[in-house]
């Protein structure tokens, strides 16, 4: 059976124009159904299964098996906790289930650092599915989920347009959106937006990203490596090329996911909103990978602040917020992987958020009459952009290659 699956073609999500042709043809009946006010649930399930199946065939069969086991595991945990929560609200029950839900992701992230190879539990998208599962457990703990069944949860977890790389949705938002079939005029507006997102995504991912990823960044890296392990101006070029590559590739993918979701009648949240025009680092995180940023804000930062306030761990609100920033961003760094450059990336962004708040307090106290102009805003954007580019260079791992593996 596994040998047969490995002989089948593999279609990575949004990886080629052929994939889009097949996908659009497959969802046309769904679009017709929604246009006439009916969601074709079982046909949608069949199409989703078919495309997810071909995402994990060929060389990705092992990942497909891990995905199936993972979905079963998380569904059992979430459903058990939902039924438990109807009668009990113990802290130990919540923390235990949250820990068990996160455990597969922790194993996948820690394994390369511990044993030198990837975990067999890993598959493309495990991080985003874990955020969905843990978010559902937290929503259950908060008492905001009044109804949940295994099929709806699985449908939320494996929603085909966003399964491998997000955006990260919330169960309550998704379920409410999915149950309400959009009115005809509203759906036509969604289709109009979807077409725009898809064309913009093609421009980002298949045109602009090509030059960054295939032309400019490799050239800069090649030239920078000639002077390894010493730094050179070519490393600066690598930093800017990597930042462009990362943004246009990921933003393009996110636009595809949102566009296809809209065609399927679901308003998946956006992931990017002109992040490089941010005048400070806090604004940047409100615009960059927004569904991830907001997930960490709501489920780590705010909950730590609430718990620390309740337990009176800090006398100073500034010390509390600074600690929460550092904790939030360092955890985000560890989430990317247990390597020095991911962890340092998270540390630097946490420190930048602390410095940003300190500067705002200082400015409010000593420069009350300082007016915001196009010049001051431009300088702020320039500083923020270059800081982000510098930290992206660290995040890329290129310095690790330059200094330690040349």
Which of 336, 349, 366, 406 is labelled catalytic?
A: 336
Report the alpha-carbon distance of residue 132 to residue 166 in Å, rounded. 10
Alpha-carbon dihedral sign for residues 374, 375, 379, 382: positive
Element (H, E) at 386: helix 374-396
Residue 181 · residue 39 · CB < 8 Å: yes
Alpha carbon distances (Å) from 370 to 197, 282, 352, 360: 39, 20, 22, 12
Q: At what angle do helices 126-141 and 61-85 cross, to 10 degrees?
A: 0
What is the C-alpha separation between 292 and 270, in angstroms, rounded?
Answer: 11
Q: What is the DSSP string of 6-70?
A: HHS----TT-SHHHHHHHHHHHHHHHHHHHTT---HHHHHHHHHHHHHHHTSGGGHHHHHHHHHH
> What is d(CA 225, CA 243) in angstroms, rounded to the nearest whole number?
18
Active-site residue flag, 336: yes
263/265 Cα distance (integer angstroms): 5
Residues with catalytic roles: 336
């Amino acid at each position: 059976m596994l040998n047969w699956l490995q002989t089948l073609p593999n279609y990575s999500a949004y990886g080629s124009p052929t994939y889009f042709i097949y996908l659009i043809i497959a969802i046309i009946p769904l679009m017709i159904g929604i246009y006439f006010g009916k969601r074709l649930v079982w046909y949608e399930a069949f199409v989703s299964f078919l495309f997810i199946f071909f995402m994990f065939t060929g060389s990705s069969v092992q990942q497909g098996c891990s995905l199936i086991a993972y979905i079963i595991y998380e569904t059992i945990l979430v459903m058990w906790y939902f039924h438990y929560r109807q009668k009990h609200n113990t802290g130990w029950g919540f923390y235990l289930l949250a820990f068990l839900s996160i455990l597969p992701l922790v194993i996948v992230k820690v394994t390369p650092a511990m044993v030198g190879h990837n975990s067999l539990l890993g598959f493309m998208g495990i991080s985003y599915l874990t955020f969905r599962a843990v978010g559902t457990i937290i929503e259950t703990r908060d008492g905001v989920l009044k109804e949940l069944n295994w099929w709806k949860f699985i449908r939320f977890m494996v929603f085909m347009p966003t399964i491998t790389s997000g955006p990260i949705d919330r169960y309550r938002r998704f379920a409410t959106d999915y149950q309400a079939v959009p009115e005809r005029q509203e759906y036509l507006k969604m289709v109009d937006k979807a077409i725009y997102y898809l064309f913009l995504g093609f421009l980002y991912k298949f045109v602009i990203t090509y030059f960054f990823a295939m032309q400019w960044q490799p050239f800069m890296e090649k030239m920078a490596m000639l002077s390894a392990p010493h730094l050179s101006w070519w490393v600066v070029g690598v930093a800017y090329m990597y930042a462009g590559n990362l943004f246009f590739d990921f933003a393009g993918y996110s636009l595809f996911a949102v566009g296809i979701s809209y065609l399927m009648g679901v308003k998946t949240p956006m992931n990017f909103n002109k992040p490089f025009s941010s005048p400070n680092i806090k604004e940047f995180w409100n615009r960059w990978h927004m569904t991830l940023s907001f997930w960490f804000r709501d489920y780590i930062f705010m909950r730590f602040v609430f718990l620390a306030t309740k337990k009176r761990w800090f006398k100073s609100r500034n010390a509390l917020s600074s600690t929460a920033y550092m904790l939030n961003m360092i955890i985000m760094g560890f989430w990317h992987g247990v390597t020095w450059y991911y962890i340092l990336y998270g540390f630097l962004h946490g420190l930048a958020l602390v410095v940003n708040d300190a500067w705002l307090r200082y400015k409010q106290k000593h420069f009350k009459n300082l007016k915001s102009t196009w010049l001051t805003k431009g300088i702020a954007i320039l500083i923020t952009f270059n800081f982000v580019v510098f930290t992206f260079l660290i995040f890329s791992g290129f310095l690790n290659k330059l200094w330690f593996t040349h």
